Structures are given as C-alpha cells and as structure tokens.
Amino acid sequence: MNDRRQRTGLHRLWAAALTVGLGAAVGALAAPLSASADTPCVPETYTVDQDLGLVHTSVESRAVQNSTSSAIPVTFTSSVAHTVGTTWTSSGTISGGVKIYIINLTVSVTLSVSTTDSVTTSIGVNVGPVQVPPGKTLFGNWGVFEQQTQGTYVKRICSPAGRTRPPQVASGVALSPVAQGWKVWQQ
C-alpha cells in the first residue's frame, strides 16, 4: 500500500512538472510574438501643435531719426556677436530635460524650415541704405530669427519588454533658431 502511494505521488509530481514545463514553453514561445506585435518604444518625441511664426530675438538695437526736410539714406552695421540657442518653456517638467535636437528636427520636418540648435550673430553685417523720409525714425534690431512653435514633448522610459512606466508629457513653446539678420522698420 505504501509503495502504491509513492507511485501515485510520483505520477502527480510528473503531471505537475509536465504542466509547469508546458506552460513555461508556451509562455516562452508567446513572449516574442507579443513583443514583436507591440509598437517599438520611441524614447522621446516632440509634436508641433501650432506654428506661431517667425520671431526675432534682438541682441543689438539702433535708431536714427530724420529731422531734416528731405529723405536721408541710413545703413546699420552689426557690432555684436552673440549666440542664441533653442529654448523650451513648458507647463511641466521632463525629468532629465528635453533633447533640443529632437525639437529642432521635428520643427524642420513639420514646417519645412531649416532650424539649428544655435546661431551666433556676426559683426559687420550691413542693412541698407534705407531711405528715411523727413520726420520719420528708422529702427533696427540685429539678432536671430527663430521659428516659434507650440507643442507637446513626450519622454518614455523604454526597456526590452516595452514601455514600463507612464510617459512624461509637457506642453510648451519652443524657439528654434533659423538665421541671423536685421529687422528694420520706420515710424
């Protein structure tokens, strides 16, 4: 009788081992199938929600008033070299910050405009001559034109198994440098 119990227990042990082993084998086969069916984890993205146009960040300002009775020619020459970089201002915090090149690449592709991480203004760049009528003032700002966008930045923590935590999301405004230049107007 004791020998029969041992054999029954041994059969149960084999049945349990076979069940566990089969479950593990099915799980091992199914894991790669489900992982490959998932969308790959893209760690960081920026989406342009709205094009806010070109803005000018001034590094130097000039003004010439024409107090004569006839038009006068005015030329401005830049005298400041200054670097203006991409900026991101957001409603939330992204742990570890944002990657500027991701913002600029997205802005460039989405809006078909060439942006860069930073632009350094040059000394000796002229604008003019501009004819200034009597009683008017010519204003000039030397600086960097930047593409302004409103967008959403998403940062995911990726692992070999896919997304393991909820993404960090922040909405904000980005200024991406395009080129140096003068902005002039009369009043």
**What is the pLDDT at residue 37?**
42
Is residue 110 located within the same domain as residue 55?
A: yes
CATH of the domain at 125: 2.170.15
150-175 burial: b if 16+ Cβ within 10 Å, else e: ebebebbebeeeeeeeebbebebebb
Residues contacting 169, CB < 8 A, separation 6+: 92, 152, 153, 154, 155
Is residue 48 located within the same domain as residue 129?
A: yes
Q: Which of 35, 41, 63 is nearest to 154 (CA)?
A: 41
What's the number of domains the chain is made of?
2
Is residue 32 located within the same domain as residue 58?
A: no
Is residue 32 located within the same domain as residue 56?
A: no
Chain CA centroid to CA 22, Å: 48
Is residue 139 located within the same domain as residue 47?
A: yes
Task: Flag whether pLDDT at 33 surpasses 50.
Answer: no
Radius of gyration of the chain (CA): 32
Mean pLDDT confidence for 122-150: 97
Is residue 182 located within the same domain as residue 155?
A: yes
Whole-angstrom distance, CA of residue 86 vs CA of residue 176: 5
Domain that holds residue 67: 40-186
Is residue 4 located within the same domain as residue 85?
A: no
Task: Flag whether pLDDT at 4 surpasses 60.
Answer: no
Is residue 58 located within the same domain as residue 116?
A: yes
Is residue 108 located within the same domain as residue 53?
A: yes
Is residue 140 located within the same domain as residue 161?
A: yes
Whole-angstrom distance, CA of residue 2 vs CA of residue 43: 62
CA distances from 41 to 25, 47, 50, 154 (A): 26, 16, 25, 12
Is residue 126 located within the same domain as residue 166?
A: yes
Cα angle 165, 166, 167 (rounded to 5 degrees) comes to 110
- pLDDT, tens digit, 9 for 90 and up, residues 47-76: 999 999 999 999 999 999 999 999 999 999
**Residue 115, both tokens:** 């942006």
**What is the pLDDT at residue 163?**
54
- pLDDT, tens digit, 9 for 90 and up, residues 149-159: 999 999 987 77
Is residue 58 located within the same domain as residue 24?
A: no
